[in-house]
Amino acid sequence: MCIFCKIVKGEIPNQTILEDEDFLAFNDINPSRKIHVLIIPKEHYDSFDVIPPKIMANMTEFIHKVASKLDIRKSGYRLITNIGNDGGQEVAHLHFHLLGGEEVGRLVR
């Protein structure tokens, strides 16, 4: 079982920001910004590349709720998902990195 599935099962502790029946948001163990939250579906999908679009629609709504709870919708934030080897993905369970709480800087040049 993958590490994020273990987090979903409660076998590995996490600092939960928000949770519902289908999704979980928790602090990254090694934060790269003041706010660094990981948002995952509870069901295992290897990456964004294989998530059914209808589930992604629900996940979008959940991500909005996380950003609201963190009160960063006005100040802004960055949402990243790494996909596969070339995308630099380390944990093969779909997750979005939500970064904010400060200016996170330019990413794409």
Q: Does 4 sit near Zn ion (CB under 5 A)?
A: yes
Is 95 catalytic? The answer is yes
Catalytic, out of 44, 64, 95, 97: 95
Q: Assess contact for 22 and 63: CB atoms under 8 A.
A: no
Among 51, 82, 101, 104, which residue interacts with ligand 5GP (rule: CB under 6 A)?
82
Q: Which x/- pattern, by CB under 6 A, does the window 26-65 give for ligand 5GP?
A: xxxxx-------x---------------------------
The residues that bridge with 38 in the sheet, in sequence order, are 26, 97
**According to DSSP H, which parts of the chain are helical?**
3-9, 53-69
Q: Smallest distance, Å, CB 42 to ligand 5GP?
A: 15
